[in-house]
Structure formats: C-alpha cells, structure tokens
Copies of this chain bind each other. A is one copy, B any other.
Amino acid sequence: MKQVAIGIDIGGTNTVLGLVDQNGNVLVKDYFSTAKYNDITEYTNKLSGNINKLLERLSQIEVNLHIIGIGIGAPNANYYSGTIEHAPNLSFKGVIPFVSLLKEKFPYIQTITLTNDANATAIGEMMFGGAIGMKNFVMYTLGTGVGSGLVVNGNLVYGQDGFAGECGHTMLIPNGRLCGCGVRGHLEAYCSATGMKRTAFELLAQYNDTKSLLAGYSYNELTAKSIYEAALKGDEIALEVFYSTGKWLGQALADTVHHFSPEAIFLFGGPVAAGDLIINPTIASMETHLLSVFKNKVKVHPSLLKFGDAAIVGASALVWKEQ
C-alpha cells in the first residue's frame, strides 16, 4: 500500500496541487488558474475534479493507494476554523468555510487541514527541508508580499485565533513606504519582490543613474528577476538593491530573534534565488542589531525545499506531520 498526502497551494494567480509521498516527493502534480474563478462553488468543483484526475493518474502506476489527508496552504487561512477570511489577493470575498466545502467533496478523507502559505512552507521545511530535527525556527517567505511561519517547541505558532505569523506587517521604518495593508513602513513594503522594485526606483531617482541596466524599465515592467540579472552583470543600482534589501531584512530578523531566540531562520521565495547577494547583507545586518547574547548563534539559510514543488510539499506536510 502506497500512502500519499494531497498538497494544495492556493495562490492569487494559480492553484497548484500534487500527491506527495512520505519522503516529500511530488509524485504527480497539476495547476490551474485561481483568478479565472470568482465563484467559490465553481472553484471547488474545478479543484476536486483536478484532485480526482491526479488520483486516477497515480493509481495507474500505484495499484493500492491510501490517501492520508489533504493539506492546504492559502492566504489569510485560519487553521482553527478551516476558513479563508477576506484574502485580499483572492477573488473569493468574505469568510469561506474552505475545509467544510472540501469535506463535502471528499467525505472519505478524514484529515483536511488548512493554514496560511508561509506556515505550510515552515512545516514543509521541518518535515522535508533544512529544519529537520529543529524545535525552534522561523520561516520568512519573500514573494509578492512577505510572509512568515514560526515554530516554537516543535509546533507551529497559530496564536489565539489561527492567524499568527504576519511578520511582513511588523514596522521596519515608521512613516515609511505605504504597505499594501494601508499602514506605512512595514517590512513587506521593503523586502518583498515588489519592495525590491520600489527600492530600485528610489535609487535611480536618488543617483540619476541613466547608465544603469535598470534605467530602461518602466515601473510596471521591472521585476525582482530583472534586478537579479542586472546585479549579476555588476550593475551598481541592482547591487545596492540587494544590499539595502538585506540590510532591512536583517533588522527585521533581529527583532524576531529578540522575540523567540530561534535556532535558525529560513528564507524562501524568488529573491532568495540570488543566494549570497541577499543572504550576506542580511546576516551582516542581523548580527549588527542583535544583543550580544544572541550574536553568532542564529543560522540564516535559504530554504532547502525544491522551489517549484515547495508549495505543494509544504501543504502536504501539514498532513504528514500528524502521522
């Protein structure tokens, strides 16, 4: 008998899903557009159809499948209630009882569990990545926004209401850049992929550097990836974007260390692909900001989860963790 968990990651653009074995291998996977569906009933019909297709595909290879559960990562997801609540990047508004809706489709699956995407990534790291055996660590995810998942004494911190771990909305620079949430100065406005673009535009304005490789992009064209490619070619503005992003991120990581004293902090997401370009200034800045009792103790690492599969693996880990 082959045990598998179903991992689903609901993003604003796409939904990705896959069947994952107990070693964190994605056996089959699929994706479809989330944005195309405004109606939650149509969306869950599509999702359950795609799950069933995956199960059919795998059962042609594995004759004796046992589904141990479904794990779901989603923005604004509440672990306790199984709901997705007022997610700004999803077209499903209000409070969606997502776990209940899936249970109607899959009454034979006992465990269906939901949490936010950064929490799922943290559990994935603990089960299958660089945090195996760690009891106290933190995951920061850098993407369109900045998310986080906190593990204390071997368990994810959900808080009183299931929403803990919104470190992207801690204050970095009072009265600074406007964050997507409406408050000024949050970490997310500086250290997300979008934040890096904003930094590039600030630096271009500051230095009037018409020779920069980034000077030819419009605001809507520029991406964190273009900044990375320019940095690899030695572009000074692009290099300074990474330096500044690391400097700011390190300050925020120090605040998290002063709260928790974790063994390690993992960084996940597109900008982290730049490796030392972002990791080195992050560590240097974090160490500068730490009390001496914490210095040179906390490892800062890129996630060891495979980038393309991490969202699926992380979501499935919610189920595997309970085995």
Contacts and interface: CB of A to CB of B under 8 A. Distances in A.
Interface of A: 76, 85-86, 135-136, 148, 150, 152-153, 155, 157-167, 169-174, 181, 183, 251, 254-256, 258-263, 288-289, 291-294, 297-298
Contacts of A159: 136, 260-262
A158 B259 CA distance: 10
A71 B97 CA distance: 46
Contacts of A256: 259
Contact of A261 (B136, B158, B291): B158
Contacts of A251: 171, 174
Q: Which of A160, A183, A256 has the most CB of B within 10 A?
A: A160
Contacts of A163: 261, 293-294
A167 B257 CA distance: 9
A162 B297 CA distance: 12
Contacts of A173: 174
Nearest to A78: B293
Contacts of A259: 148, 150, 157, 164-167, 170, 256, 259-260
A280 to B, nearest CB: 20
Given A159-B136, A171-B254, A289-B183, A164 B85 contact: no
Contacts of A155: 153
A136 B160 contact: yes
B258 A297 contact: no
A299 to B, nearest CB: 10
A317 B297 CA distance: 30
Contacts of A294: 161, 163, 166
Given A173-B174, A251-B174, A259-B170, A292 B136 contact: no
Contacts of A165: 259, 261
Q: Which of A152, A172, A181, A298 has the most CB of B within 10 A?
A: A152
A94 to B, nearest CB: 13
Given A150-B260, A157-B261, A165-B261, 9 more contacts: A85-B293, A86-B292, A148-B259, A160-B263, A163-B294, A164-B259, A165-B259, A173-B174, A181-B292
A157 B259 CA distance: 9
A163 B181 CA distance: 32
A154 to B, nearest CB: 10
A164 B254 contact: no
A291 B169 contact: yes
Given A171-B251, A171-B254, A297 B166 contact: no
B255 A160 contact: no
Q: Which 10 A-B pairs rank lowest in CB-CB distance, beginning with the nearest?
A: A159-B261, A164-B261, A160-B263, A170-B255, A166-B258, A136-B160, A169-B258, A170-B258, A152-B152, A163-B261
A166 B260 CA distance: 8
A162 B261 CA distance: 8
A161 B261 CA distance: 7
Q: Which of A162, A262, A288 has the most CB of B within 10 A?
A: A262
